[in-house]
């Protein structure tokens, strides 16, 4: 299974979206403001633009160190093929023969220059560009450029030169030299070459691709330094002008192709912006331009994403040209020509190129306009855009949002406006919160005052309750005492008085342990039925109590008033009350009897008068 070329470590990512803005093909998707962006591997062209802008170093590429160490520890012979740009990478090494020896010290059996592969490929470009039959071509030496056209400009895929890269050509070369079983490790500045190597098998196979950064890691791991190695040269055949390949137009010099502005037929473009524009113009206007295009995504292989960070372009270029000048000063042209003739005839230069269309369907105009309206770019003059989102125009950005590649928050204008609106809303919310807090303070003060008044009222009520001569008790639904007065405790007797000394007011005591069954059953009935019980005479020991039980809170709380009927003041009051009740009842009865008698007399009178009237009528 092919591992992703580029990955983003969500733990290291600071969600700055610099990588999203740097990606030329929108292969990094923004899902949420709070989440790290993710790479859409099918769309990635391996250019490494995201790597070079990631300050927290959250982005990494597929490592080949372990794979290389496994090859070197195997029983197979292993050859290193080294890109010409290595002379620009190792500016800290005084003689190129030292880093050749350092590579051998890792365990490589052979160390060959890829510049000879450049010479062989350059010969093919000379033939193609000199004898072309009206079709204009784009060089296919740069893997990101090839991938860019395969995925996003498949309409001009037939214009890609059908020629393998120097890496693949050199892989075929070393198998011609050392046999088909040799393992090949390419060392260069390009991370996209890691995926390019997976396209080829057989004699063209590259078993592993190390970047210069990874090579330095291996040197550090095995403690290989310039100071403790001797000189060693590359294994032959040595490259000629292919040594200039690290510079973008070096392939043209190696092919003896003219870039003369008047007579030349080739345009060279390097760097992200120029290459993207060159491909667009080639696709739209090649019939007008009528030139071949020599394209390198990086500013020459000198500045590839697999080189050490912070390298200086022109210093590296100087190192490359100085190396080439020293090398070619006493160069054996005849031996080189003989080697070229021999190996070119045994090399298959047919490149593996095929369309891999990753273009997304265009969203509807309505959807695009809707998103433009959301980000505040509905007016025509606002749609050019600032480019901070990574898109050329606001309309391109809106289309990407509609395609699910990014979010509206990537628009700086929209994001700032949203933040200003949020700050304004937050300010208003804070003001409301302050007012609410003041109201809460006032409310709390009022509540405290009311609570104090309620406490005072409760204390007065409780004090009054204690002074009443009648016994008072309040219980909950479980017949637990909530409150009682001293008169109730006195009625219950000494046991209750002892409990009261420990638990004032008998609070929490179980009424069922204080009163007999027939007594506390009255409380249960009132709580259950929610019906008050008034003036019920109940015997408690030698006492006759007059009991009234009232529902205070339905099904929850009941209170009772108990009066000892044997107390003189209660007895006198009760006798008067009951005699009054008897008199009232008798008077009521007499009134009813009188009423009935009156009704009967009236009826009799009416009957007698009727008889008399009838008798008088009969006499007549």
pLDDT mean values, one per 10 residues, the chain (620 residues): 88 89 91 82 95 93 96 96 93 85 96 96 95 92 97 96 97 96 97 96 96 96 92 94 93 90 86 95 94 93 91 90 88 93 94 93 83 73 62 79 78 68 78 86 86 77 77 89 86 83 85 82 86 85 84 88 76 54 55 56 62 59
Phi, psi for 82 (deg, rounded to 5): -110, 130
pLDDT at 202: 95
Write out the DSSP string of 21-46. HH-TT--EE---TTS--EE-TTT---
141-171: string of b/e by CB count within 10 Å (b at 16+)?
Answer: bbbbbbbbbbbbbeebbebbbebbbbbbbbb
Among residues 355, 361, 396, which one has the least CA distance to residue 151? 355
pLDDT at 597: 56
Helix-, strand-, coil-residue percentages of the chain, each rounded to 5: 55, 15, 35
Whether 46 and 27 have beta carbons less than 8 Å apart is answered as: no
Place of tokens 């209660």: 570
Whether 99 and 262 have beta carbons less than 8 Å apart is answered as: no
pLDDT at 592: 60
Phi, psi for 126 (deg, rounded to 5): -60, -45
Distance CA 366, CA 363 (A): 8
Measured between alpha carbons, how far is residue 322 from residues 212, 244, 278 in Å?
20, 10, 30
Distance CA 29, CA 31 (A): 6
262-296: string of b/e by CB count within 10 Å (b at 16+)?
Answer: eeeebbbbbbbebbbebbeebeeebeeeeebbbbb
Q: Tokens representing 364?
A: 């509807």
Residue 184 forms beta bridges with which residues? 79
pLDDT at 416: 65
Distance CA 527, CA 530 (A): 5
Residue 199 CB neighbour total at 10 angstroms: 17
pLDDT at 573: 56
pLDDT at 180: 95
Residue 474 forms beta bridges with which residues? 483, 559
Place of tokens 């260069």: 188
Residue partners of 213: CB distance under 8 A and separation at least 6 = 306, 307, 308
């Amino acid at each position: 299974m092919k591992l992703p070329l580029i990955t983003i470590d969500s733990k290291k990512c600071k969600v700055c979206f610099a990588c999203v803005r740097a990606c030329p093909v929108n292969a990094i998707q923004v899902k949420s403001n709070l989440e790290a962006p993710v790479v859409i591997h099918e769309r990635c062209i391996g250019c490494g633009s995201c790597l070079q802008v990631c300050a927290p170093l959250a982005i990494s590429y597929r490592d080949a160190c372990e794979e290389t160490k496994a090859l070197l520890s195997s029983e197979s012979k292993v050859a290193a093929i080294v890109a010409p740009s290595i002379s620009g990478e190792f500016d800290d090494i005084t003689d190129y023969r030292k880093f050749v020896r350092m590579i051998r010290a890792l365990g490589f059996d052979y160390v060959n220059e890829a510049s000879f592969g450049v010479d062989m490929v350059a010969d093919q470009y000379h033939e193609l560009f000199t004898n072309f039959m009206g079709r204009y071509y784009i060089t296919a030496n740069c893997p990101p450029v090839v991938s860019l056209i395969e995925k996003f400009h498949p309409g001009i895929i037939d214009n890609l030169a059908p020629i393998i890269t120097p890496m693949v050509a050199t892989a075929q070369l070393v198998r011609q030299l050392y046999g088909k079983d040799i393992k090949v490790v390419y060392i260069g500045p390009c991370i996209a070459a890691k995926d390019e190597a997976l396209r080829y098998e057989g004699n063209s196979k590259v078993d592993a691709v190390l970047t210069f950064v990874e090579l330095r890691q291996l040197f550090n791991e095995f403690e290989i330094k310039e100071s403790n190695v001797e000189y060693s040269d590359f294994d032959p055949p040595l490259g000629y002008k292919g040594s200039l390949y690290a510079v973008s137009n070096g392939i043209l010099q190696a092919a003896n192709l003219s870039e003369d502005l008047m007579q030349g037929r080739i345009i060279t473009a390097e760097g992200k912006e120029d290459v993207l524009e060159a491909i667009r113009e080639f696709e739209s206007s090649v019939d007008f331009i009528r030139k071949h295009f020599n394209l390198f995504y990086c500013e020459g292989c000198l500045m590839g994403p697999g080189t050490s960070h912070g390298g200086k372009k022109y210093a590296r270029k100087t190192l490359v040209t100085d190396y080439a000048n020293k090398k070619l000063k006493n160069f054996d042209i005849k031996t080189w020509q003989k080697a070229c003739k021999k190996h070119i005839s045994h090399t298959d230069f047919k490149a593996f190129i095929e369309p891999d269309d990753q273009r997304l369907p265009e969203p509807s105009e309505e959807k695009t306009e809707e998103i433009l309206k959301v980000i505040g770019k509905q007016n025509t003059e606002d749609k050019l855009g600032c480019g901070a989102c990574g898109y050329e125009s606001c309309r391109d950005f809106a289309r990407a949002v509609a395609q699910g590649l990014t979010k509206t928050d990537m628009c700086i204008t929209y994001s700032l406006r949203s933040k200003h609106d949020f700050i304004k809303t937050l300010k208003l919310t804070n003001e409301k919160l302050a007012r609410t807090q003041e109201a809460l303070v006032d409310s709390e003060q009022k509540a405290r005052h009311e609570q104090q008044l309620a406490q005072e009222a409760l204390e007065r009520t409780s004090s009054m309750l204690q002074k009443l001569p009648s016994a008072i008790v309040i219980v909950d639904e479980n017949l637990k005492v909530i409150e009682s007065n001293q008169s109730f405790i006195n009625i219950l007797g000494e046991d209750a008085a002892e409990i009261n000394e420990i638990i004032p007011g008998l609070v929490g005591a179980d009424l069922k342990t204080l009163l007999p069954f027939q007594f506390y059953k009255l409380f249960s009935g009132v709580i259950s039925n929610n019906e008050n019980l008034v003036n019920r005479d109940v015997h408690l020991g030698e006492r006759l109590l007059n009991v009234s039980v009232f529902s205070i809170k339905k099904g929850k709380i009941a209170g009772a008033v108990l009066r000892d009927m044997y107390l003189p003041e209660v007895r006198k009051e009760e006798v008067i009350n009951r005699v009054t009740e008897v008199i009232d009842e008798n008077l009521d009865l007499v009134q009813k009897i009188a009423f009935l008698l009156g009704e009967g007399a009236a009826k009799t009178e009416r009957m007698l008068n009727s008889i008399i009237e009838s008798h008088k009528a009969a006499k007549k």
